[in-house]
Amino acid sequence: MAVSVPVAPGQHMTSPIPARAGIGLRPQHYADILAQPAKVGHKVGPGVGWLEVHPENYLTAGGPQHRALTAARQLYPLSFHGVGLSLGGEARPDPAHLARLRALNARYEPALFSEHLAWSSHGGAFMNDLLPIPYTRSALDRLVEHVDETQEALGRQILIENPSLYLRFEASEMRETEFLRELVLRSGCGLLLDINNVFVSASNCGFDSCAYLADYPLSHVREIHLAGHRTEVDGSGAEVLIDTHGSSVSAAVWALYRLVVRLEGRLPTLIEWDQDLPDWRILLAEAASADRILAEEAPHAAVA
């Protein structure tokens, strides 16, 4: 397996992602985001430092979302967060999908491109859910190949995000943190640390969030995700946390975020809110909370 990072992160884009809070761009907020004060150089006024979108929502010939993203791209640095490559799956990433993503990258030049430690397609059908994988040697070998192939096809490093787990596989041979560390070493990919996912998985699978973070290869993190979750009861009557992206970030997740920033310094931090979208001002307030923690815990670091 070639250890290759085809293109260093940062080489592609016109403006890098600053180490401050960003927001997922949703059609409901196009008007609000485009009415924000324009950035001057790479500095953006109070509010939001960068934007993230799911590239799969933009794989169309045209339409209003392309018009909005083209306009937003002039004002903010942009990150792509893929949800369709099924890198953890049995099959190789679909070459046709990779080619479309490559063309979209060329059009919008996102500064970061991330995907998931999960699978979502099998036998040619797409399941629209991020499904868990067993942490086995064979699953790791295959994932390394898929990440490698994706990085070759896209001509850039990608980031891999830790999943939110509701269950685990008896067959697993490694901890998730070990699995990710080997993946990074062997594929040259970077990491997207979703702190809400750590908290949700820890609660659902019975491990300790702080112990997870202590064992996690933090120095390879290029981006952080924060989101809300909800508590439900599963079929056996046990409590289960659901990663909904539909509410504000919980106090416990903010506390873990503070710990990560203290350990690793400033990092681009996305407020992910995909369901039951709130008013734009509520998203701005969440972003301001992240920026405040970055300033308090890493006061001497420069904002990119």
Partner 1 sequence: MLPSPEPYADFAGALWATERAVPMGLLPAARFALHRNNVYASLIHCLKARFPVTVRLLGEDCFGQCARHFVEAAPPRSPVLMEYGAGLADFLAGFAPLRELPYLADVARLEWLRHAALHGAEAVPIAPAALAEVLPERMPDLVLALHPTAAILSSPYPVLSIFRANAVAGELMPVAAGLPGETMLVVRPEESVQLLPLSVAAAGFLRALERGLTLSDAAEAAGMIDAAFDLAQALAPMLRAGLFTGFHLANSCERN
Tokens of 213: 């973070």
- Other C-beta atoms within 10 Å of 17: how many? 28
What does the block give as tokens for 178?
Answer: 């070990």
30 binds partner 1 (CB under 8 A): no
What is the closest distance, in whole angstroms, from the C-beta atom of residue 107 to partner 1 in the complex?
A: 13
Q: Taking CB under 8 A as the rule, which mask of x and - marks residues 236-275 in contact with partner 1?
A: x-x-x-x---------------------------------
**Residues of span 207-236 touching partner 1 by CB under 8 A:** 234-236
Q: How far is the CB of 82 from partner 1 (least distance, A)?
A: 9
107 binds partner 1 (CB under 8 A): no
Dihedral sign computed on CA atoms, order 14, 19, 24, 27: negative
DSSP letter at 239? E
Which residue in the set 80, 108, 113, 119 belongs to the binding site for partner 1 (CB under 8 A)?
Answer: 119
- Give the shortest CB-160-to-partner 1 separation in angstroms: 17
Please give the backbone phi and psi of residue 81, each rounded to the nearest 5 degrees, phi first.
-125, 95
Strand 269-272 and strand 21-24: the pairing is parallel
Please, which residues have CB within 8 angstroms of residue 73's CB and are 6 or more apart in sequence?
108
Q: Could you tell me whether strands 239-242 and 230-233 are parallel, antiparallel, or unpaired per DSSP bridges?
A: antiparallel
Write down the least CB distance from residue 97 to partner 1, Å: 6
Position 31 contacts partner 1 (CB under 8 A): no
Place of tokens 């702080």: 210
Q: CB under 8 A: which stretch of 166-174, 181-189, 252-260, 279-287 binds partner 1?
A: 166-174
Sole window of 2-10, 131-139, 257-265, 290-298 interacting with partner 1 (rule: CB under 8 A): 131-139
Our finding on whether 156 is near partner 1 (CB under 8 A) is no
How many Cβ atoms from other residues are within 10 Å of residue 3's Cβ?
10
Do 90 and 117 form a contact (C-beta atoms < 8 A)?
A: no
Among 6, 16, 134, 265, binds partner 1 (CB under 8 A): 134
Cβ closest to partner 1, residue 237 vs residue 299: 237
Size of the site for partner 1 (CB under 8 A): 48
Torsion of CA 4, 17, 80, 73, to 10 degrees: -130
Distance CA 295, CA 171 (A): 43
Residue in the block written with tokens 């594929």: 187
Q: Using the minimum distance from each CB to partner 1, give the nearer residue, 64 or 299.
A: 64
Return residues touching partner 1 (CB under 8 A). Answer: 56-57, 59-67, 83-86, 89-90, 94, 97, 100, 119-129, 131, 134, 136, 138, 166-171, 204, 234-236, 238, 240, 242
